[in-house]
Amino acid sequence: MSDTLLSSLNESQKKAATYIDGSLLILAGAGSGKTKTITTRLAYLISIGIDPASILTLTFTNKAANEMRDRAFNLIQGIEVNTPPLLCTFHKFGLLFLKFHMGELNRKNNFIIIDTDDKKRILKSINKDITTSILVSEISRYKNSLLSPAEAKLAAQLKLYRDIAEVYEKYENYLVENNLVDFDDLLLLPYKILLANEELAKQVSQKYNYIMVDEYQDTNELQYRLLRLLCCTHNNLCVVGDDDQSIYGWRGATIKNILNFNEHFEDTFVVKLEENYRSTDTILEHANHLIEHNRDRLGKKLVGTRTKGDSIRVYESNDENEETRKIVDDIRKLIDSGQSAKDIAILFRVNALSRSLEEGFNKAGMNYKLVGGMKFYERSEIKDLIAYMRILTNKDDNFSFKRIINKPKRGIGKTTIDKVEAHALQTDMSMFDVISKNSPDELSKIVGKKNARTLKVFEASIIDLNELMAESRMKFLDSFEETFDYRASYNNLPDGADRQGNIDEFYGYIRDFFIQNPHLELKDFLNEIALESENEELYSEAVSMMSIHASKGLEFKHLFIIGFEEGFFPLIGDGSDIEEERRLGYVAITRAMDNLTLSFVH
């Protein structure tokens, strides 16, 4: 079985797949069969008798996790596996861990995960003077740097940062009071629990005796520290990555994690995957030549396995409209010659450069997909429905209560909401409790008779739906719409049909979830969608337009990179890192399989 598994690997890939005990660094160049190697290694571990339940594989996206899981399971067909290995994102691992161990922080395990939009709303309610995006990024930076609110205050030298630290403290208190966690908490809280409980850390480390990490060059300080704790009883950590593709420094990724891996973990065995199966030799020569200028790298060189290929074309234009015309003409010729639109992509360093492209494609009547538009779960009508579902799973969720108490409109205005919230704070109750634990007469004294009646009807609806959900999930979904008429509230609106289509899609998704997972609950569905990968599906027959960051991990037969000029790419400015700009260029070039066109404007 083991020999069959390894038969399709090259020598370097075999070395990586069969190195079992001790720390292992697989330096995987672009297009070098990284996923094939790591999934074969996972299957190989199982084939030689290692307990699958002792293997933990961590990725950055659900898409990568699903692909690896499918590939690995295909490889081990015929081997009886009682407990499958855990293969998931860092954040999913954190979620699973907290479900079992949240009590270590004296908190309940029925917490709800908030997304970035929720986070912005909470921060805006705490402070309206500081730009919300600054608060979001700074608080995330604090958490990933393991800084508590108190430590952030001590470190702050400017008034702005002292104020941000104050907001951070209030934000943390709000999350704890409402039993909410943000995405950073899914890593930070497990780290805190394991750091404080040495015995638990040993138990978890002994449970996962073999750990693999994909895209290690994208890890940050917190993820590195968490991995150290997970490996506190052994040194069996295999990481796969490419220092030349480390392009997320702006969001906290630390290239030093991969550069210094053999210093962090003793007796590291290093394997370099340098054979590229994706691009022509010509494309690889340019990629190698560019990245060789970087000093901060471990050093490897992509070696082609294909033909030399066509020369790289370089377009020089007087303005962006001329640039767009050239590219549109080229793409039209490719499609007319029988090439598929899904095999063609245009990349840019700065999103603003997409405008002229979109205009040109619209004029030409050509299909395109702009990757990075508004995600499904970020649409307001879907966020409202999610807030309703949150209330049904956790009536103490004040944040969700405030979002939906007047959606659809039921005459409950801001003044009434403020009164309920003020009473909740005075009596140390949730806002829902203010309604449920006060009689109609008592509630009338707080919000007035008419509003009290409306709120009591809302309370009764939530209780009825909860009872129905315990009885039948499908009937619950039907009754939910009948109770609140949420879908109907978009009748006669200009974009109502589109929104209703989204609502129908959401209801259908919940139904499918319950059919496929009859043992899971509504809170599991909510946590699952909160962890949905941010990568959008590409339209099957449309030219893809995207930023270089969004293109990582993808490949296209015909690739155009626009804005290849100083100021746009490389992007030069305060705090810019020319080495990271080169790595971005390397990532962009190595997305191309057959043809590459570079374009710049005077």
Quick: pLDDT tens for 368-379.
888 765 567 778
pLDDT score at 350: 83
- Indicate the DSSP class of residue 59: E
Give the residue-averaged pLDDT of 474-499: 85
| H helix and E strand count, the chain | 28, 16
Output the six-digit token pair for 68. Answer: 């690896």
**CA-closest candidate to residue 253, choices 215, 305, 300:** 215
Q: Is the pLDDT of residue 224 over 90?
A: yes
- Write the pLDDT tens digit of every residue in 421-455: 999 999 999 999 999 999 999 999 999 999 999 99
Between 266 and 237, the more confident residue is: 237
DSSP 91-135: HHHHHHHHHHHGGGGT--S--EE--HHHHHHHHHHH-SSS-HHHH
For residues 533 and 62, is the Cβ–Cβ distance under 8 A? yes
Lookup result for tokens 């700009």: 581
pLDDT value for 535: 38
Q: Where are the beta strands (DSSP E) in 285-377?
A: 303-304, 313-317, 344-348, 368-370
So which residues are the catalytic ones? Answer: 34-35, 214-215, 245, 591
The answer on pLDDT for 479 being more than 70 is: yes
Tokens 């022509």 locate to 280
Q: Burial-class residue 18 by CB neighbours within 10 Å (0-12, 13-18, 19+).
A: middle
Q: Which residues, in sequence order, are bridge partners of residue 210?
A: 55
Portion of the chain with pLDDT greater than 90, in percent: 72
Residues 6+ apart with CB under 8 A from 560: 327, 330, 331, 344, 345, 346, 347, 597, 599
- The C-alpha atoms of residue 421 and residue 414 are separated, in whole angstroms, by 10
Dihedral, CA of residue 74, residue 76, residue 77 and residue 83, to nearest 10: -100
Examine the pLDDT at 87 and tell me if it is beyond 60: yes
Which residues make Cβ contacts (< 8 Å) with residue 171, sequence separation at least 6?
A: 122, 123, 126, 135, 139
Q: What is the mean pLDDT of residues 106-120?
A: 91
pLDDT reported for residue 2: 63
Q: What is the pLDDT of residue 391?
A: 95
Contact 272, 12 (CB under 8 A): yes
- 132 vs 592, more confident: 592
H/E stretch holding 596 reads: strand 592-601
Tokens of 159: 């008034």
H helix or E strand, kind and range, residue 560: strand 556-561
Phi, psi of 138 (to 5 degrees): -70, -40
Residue whose C-alpha is closest to residue 191's, from 181, 201, 178: 201
CA distance 86 to 211: 10
How many other CB atoms are found less than 10 A from the CB of residue 6? 17
Q: What is the pLDDT of residues 267-317, one digit of tens each?
A: 999 999 999 999 999 999 999 999 999 999 999 999 999 999 999 999 999
SS (H, E, C) 185-232: HHHHHHHHHHHHCHHHHHHHHHHCCEEEECCHHHCCHHHHHHHHHHCC
pLDDT band at 259 (very low <50, low <70, confident <90, very high): very high
Q: Determine the pLDDT at residue 497.
A: 77
